[in-house]
Amino acid sequence: MKHLFIINPVAGSRDRTAEYTAAIRSVCDERHLDYRIEVSQAPGHCERLAREAALTGEEYRIYACGGDGTLNEVAAGAAGHPNAAVTVFSGGSGNDFVKLFSDPKAFYQIDRLLDAEEATFDMIRCNDSLALNICSVGLDARIGTDVANYKRIPLLQGFRAYAVSTLVNVIRGIAEHYVVEINGETIDGELTFVCVCSGRFYGGGFNPVPEADPADGILDVLLVKKVSRLQVPAVIGKYKSGRYKELTGLIRHFRTDHVTIRCDRDTPINLDGELRRGRVVHMSVAKEKLRFFYPKGLTWQAEGQPVKEGSHDTH
């Protein structure tokens, strides 16, 4: 088995390339592993490196060294290739995807990542792109994709960057007109945003659908109706903590395998924190699946569901 570590030097609040490299070499040399380290040079490079490794047909474990955006690229490159498994060696500002696991801090420890179990996770197909975690359109997408503009400002990492982005974007405007086609129903009206979840956490700790299961072949979709600026704090507070059921007049919850969103103009689309744009947005459960490995012994239990463990031990 080969090990590929892909470092994103712009993930998080500072360049951690030297720290990553030292930690990787120390542990991998001691274990006499077949490994190499690559450093991303530009947006899209992580995805290309992961895809090139997967296309060799050799058995690979690929480590996204960074945050959720880095994991998004690496997962998109490796998804659908049965010989390649992916994980994240955490170092970003949010590190949200792994919060669904029982011990997210374990993803900061390279030795624990080398002793791994595996699960098969769904991917979200969004037009021509793939995402692993959560996608959105509307105010939420503007907030999520603008976070990068603030996360390198001192004291504005994680949720604080998200809070500042929220304030700025609320001032710019809240609702827009969308036509949403879902489960045979057409919703035509003013919406604040549409959130499509396979995973559970994003935005520095938002947990909109606590029961979302990244391996059930279903997307959890929240449609947030038009709200006033005065309603925004209360709505965001409950939305953040997964209490959408308390806002039945403002939020509708759907479970589906596909949704189409038609916009009046070119609109920002959030894919795991990465920005795309479009006027017609098709989101569905992708045919490509992802082998995801994680530290041995961790679980990813969904609320009200049995404890989920790895499909097999790959150590």
Confidence band, pLDDT 50/70/90 cuts, at residue 93: low
Q: What pLDDT score was predicted for residue 91?
A: 85
Confidence band, pLDDT 50/70/90 cuts, at residue 264: very high
Cβ 222 vs Cβ 240: under 8 Å = no
For helices 68-78 and 45-55, the axis angle rounded to 10 degrees is 30
Q: What pLDDT score was predicted for residue 204?
A: 78
Cβ 180 vs Cβ 260: under 8 Å = yes
Average pLDDT over residues 246-269: 95
Give 2-124+287-313's CATH code, choosing from 3.10.20.520, 3.20.20.70, 3.20.20.150, 3.40.50.10330.
3.40.50.10330
CATH T-level assignment (fold) for domain 129-286: Tumour Suppressor Smad4 (2.60.200)
Please report, for residues 42, 124, 129, 249, 295, the alpha-carbon distance to residue 184 in angstroms, rounded to integers and kept in the order given. Answer: 41, 20, 24, 21, 41
Q: What pLDDT score was predicted for residue 88?
A: 97
Average pLDDT over residues 157-169: 71
* DSSP element (H, E) containing 234: helix 232-240
Confidence band, pLDDT 50/70/90 cuts, at residue 311: very low
Residues 6 or more apart whose CB falls under 8 angstroms from that of 304 comprise: 211
- Cβ-count burial of 168 within 10 angstroms (0-12 exposed, 13-18 middle, 19+ buried)? middle
Which amino acid, residue 142? R
Q: What is the rounded CA–CA span in Å between residue 301 and residue 305?
A: 7
Alpha helices in 40-115 (DSSP H): 45-55, 68-78, 110-114
Two tokens, residue 297: 């012994």
Q: What pLDDT score was predicted for residue 157?
A: 63
List, in sequence order, every residue forming a beta bridge with 185; answer none if it has no partner: 182
Q: What pLDDT score was predicted for residue 304?
A: 55
Confidence band, pLDDT 50/70/90 cuts, at residue 134: very high
Cβ 68 vs Cβ 204: under 8 Å = no
Cβ 240 vs Cβ 162: under 8 Å = no
Q: pLDDT by residue (tens digit) across 77-91?
A: 999 999 999 999 998
Confidence band, pLDDT 50/70/90 cuts, at residue 313: very low
- Cβ-count burial of 155 within 10 angstroms (0-12 exposed, 13-18 middle, 19+ buried)? exposed
Return the DSSP state at 153.
S
Q: pLDDT by residue (tens digit) across 105-122?
A: 999 999 999 999 999 999
Phi and psi for 192 in degrees, rounded to 5? -75, -50
Lowest mean pLDDT across 8-22, 71-85, 97-111: 8-22
Q: What pLDDT score was predicted for residue 60?
A: 98
Q: pLDDT by residue (tens digit) across 203-244?
A: 778 899 999 999 999 999 999 999 888 888 888 889 999 999
Q: What is the rounded CA–CA span in Å between residue 194 and residue 259?
A: 10
Residues of the chain with CATH 2.60.200.40: 129-286
Which of residues 277 and 35 earns the better pLDDT score?
A: 35
Q: What pLDDT score was predicted for residue 190?
A: 94
List, in sequence order, every residue forming a beta bridge with 268; answer none if it has no partner: 277
Phi and psi for 75 in degrees, rounded to 5? -65, -40
Q: What angle do CA 179, 181, 184 make, to 5 degrees?
A: 145
CB atoms within 10 A of CB 192: 24
List, in sequence order, every residue forming a beta bridge with 253; answer none if it has no partner: 222
- Cβ-count burial of 85 within 10 angstroms (0-12 exposed, 13-18 middle, 19+ buried)? buried
Q: Mean pLDDT across the chain, nearest whole number?
A: 90
Two tokens, residue 73: 């690229």
Residues of the chain with CATH 3.40.50.10330: 2-124+287-313
Cβ 130 vs Cβ 286: under 8 Å = yes
Q: Which of 203, 223, 220 is nearest to 211 (CA)?
A: 220
Answer yes or no: is pLDDT of 310 > 50.
no
Answer yes or no: is pLDDT of 173 > 60.
yes
Answer yes or no: is pLDDT of 308 > 60.
no
Which of residues 155 and 185 earns the better pLDDT score?
A: 185
Answer yes or no: is pLDDT of 152 > 80.
no
% residues pLDDT > 90 (the chain): 70
Q: pLDDT by residue (tens digit) across 40-92?
A: 999 999 999 999 999 999 999 999 999 998 999 999 999 999 999 999 999 87
Q: pLDDT by residue (tens digit) across 273-295?
A: 888 999 999 999 999 999 999 99
Residues 6 or more apart whose CB falls under 8 angstroms from that of 163 comprise: none
Which of residues 16 and 308 earns the better pLDDT score?
A: 16
